[in-house]
Amino acid sequence: MKKCLKTVLLVLCLALLTACSKNTNSSGNSGRTTSETTPDPANKPEAEPTEQISGTPAPTEPAEPTETPVPTANPIDDMYIKDLYKDEFMVGMALPNSVFGKSFLTETVKNNFSSMTFENEMKPDYTMNQNENIEGFPATETSPIISMTGIKRGMDFAKENGIKVRMHTLIWHSQTPDWFFTTDYKSDSPLASRDVMIKRMEGYIRNVMKYLEENYPGMVYCYDVVNEAIDPGQGEKNGLRKESKWYEIIGPDFISYAFEFARKYAPEGVKLYYNDYNCAQKCNLIIKTLTPILEAGNIDGIGMQCHLSTSDKISSKVYRTAKSFSDAGFQVQITELDIGITGGEYAELVQAMKYRVLFETMQKAKRDGEINIDCITIWGLYDSISWRKTEFPLIYRQKGTELEKKLAWYGIMQDPSVKGVEW
């Protein structure tokens, strides 16, 4: 793998022609209109720093198409993402409940993705009912009642289509109700003690794992046990996030408790992950915090969220960090990938190139034994339902009642029209 990491954006004349030619595709998706994908050379962003790599042709300025391209079938339209990467890692999709039941959406998901994450329905603010836990008190004090009815449609869909599920997320400062941290689950009661919260954490993890295993045996292959516990910007010496009730009540060892309990109750072979954002900046701190947990045998991997933008370098933001985690003994997943567009219409090509570079780089790194990565999950199906919808960060867009593949999809598929290297 080359050391010097520079971006070379190669947008060839061919890109324009082939992009236009994808108006027709044979996978049931409606075609893309020429105006959506033909970049206006006047809008071309400043090229990223270029460095000639031997054997790589010099960047070519996009040329004006000289004649209207004739739409031709692209064989890649008959292929699917998960198949292209099946020898290296799974490819996942995060989904909101609204997707299930709409056949054109689920068709796309089942063909292209082998792993699935619920965007919300497995988070603590969805898994418990306050009244049930109040009424059940004191039996519920350290054994919260779990009612995950919201996952039924999604789990049924995953089961029917042989899609594995990554559970997101057990212990998180956000999307966990405040009442969960009080003595008796009443909103105006005082905070529970450290001792109660350690036992309640154990009860929560045990009951969620039990619920999933009893109702959906064998479907969940990994858990995000702790999400976003590290934030050196909050001023704590240990670099942990201060604004977290888990941290406030239990203290810094809430992370190791969570993994200890998760290992205790997780079915054999299920992988346990720590998940976070800005991993490149926090890389050393994450490794330092998690190494004792790894040594205790209670964690398997680190999930890198990867909410990126087109101005990010895949090499430094993703590759190097993933390699450091892998070198430190952790399995790696990219868990929440989206790449927001910064720039004009032309930027869709840059976005496609970034998606391509990321997937290709990880594929090669896995093949070469450099990075132990086992899944890349894209955080959302199509732009208008993304949490970053103003940045159009995903690989599909909605067109009427259909889903349309964006150039980013072709980038992931390593289509020759999306040429990009970043070294």
Residue 113 or 410: the one with the smaller Cβ distance to ligand GLA is 113
Q: Any catalytic annotation for residue 236?
A: no
Contact 171, 226 (CB under 8 A): yes
Cα separations in angstroms, 98 against 39, 94, 119, 151: 33, 12, 11, 11
270: CB partners within 8 A, 6+ apart: 220, 221, 222, 223
H-state helical runs in 216-278: 245-250, 254-265
Tell me which of 25, 38, 182, 305 binds ligand GLA, using CB under 6 A: 305
3-state secondary structure of 99: helix
- Kindly tell me which of 100 and 387 has the beta carbon lying closer to ligand GLA: 387
Give the nearest distance from C-beta 340 to ligand GLA in angstroms.
12
Binding residue for ligand GLA (CB under 6 A) from 7, 227, 351, 363? Answer: 227
Interaction pattern, residues 376-395, with ligand GLA; x per rule: CB under 6 A = -----------x--------
When asked if residue 125 is in the footprint of ligand GLA (CB under 6 A), the reply is no
Instruction: Single out the catalytic residue among 121, 228, 348, 360.
Output: 228
* Minimum gap (Å) between residue 102 Cβ and ligand GLA: 21
Q: Considering the complex, what minimum distance in angstroms separates the CB of residue 168 from ligand GLA?
A: 6
Beta bridge partners of 224: 168, 273
Choosing from 119, 121, 336, 360, which is the catalytic residue?
A: 336
Measuring CA to CA, which residue among 338, 367, 377 is closest to residue 355? 338
CB of 387 to ligand GLA, least distance (A): 4
| Minimum distance of ligand GLA from residue 422's CB (angstroms) | 24
Distance between CA 423 and CA 407 in Å, rounded? 21
CA angle 312, 316, 318 (to 5 degrees): 80
Buried (b) or exposed (e) across 261-299, using 16+ Cβ within 10 A? Answer: bbbebbeeebbbbbbbbbbbebbebbbebbeebbeeebb
Residue closer to ligand GLA (CB basis): 77 or 336: 336
Q: Which of residues 24-83 bind ligand GLA (CB under 6 A)?
A: none
228 is catalytic: yes
* Residue selected from 202, 260, 312, 336 as contacting ligand GLA according to rule CB under 6 A: 336
| Residue 29 to residues 19, 51, 80, Cα–Cα distance (Å) | 15, 37, 13
Q: Cβ closer to ligand GLA: 219 or 385?
A: 385
Distance CA 148, CA 135 (A): 18
For 253, residues 6+ apart whose C-beta sits below 8 A from its C-beta are none
User: Which residues inside 249-288 make contact with ligand GLA, applying CB under 6 A?
Assistant: 277
- Residue 369 CB burial class (10 angstroms; 0-12, 13-18, ≥19): exposed
Considering only residues 150-209, where is the footprint of ligand GLA by CB under 6 A?
168
Residue nearest to ligand GLA (CB): 387
**Active-site residue numbers?**
228, 336
Contacts to ligand GLA by CB under 6 A: 168, 227, 277, 305, 336, 387
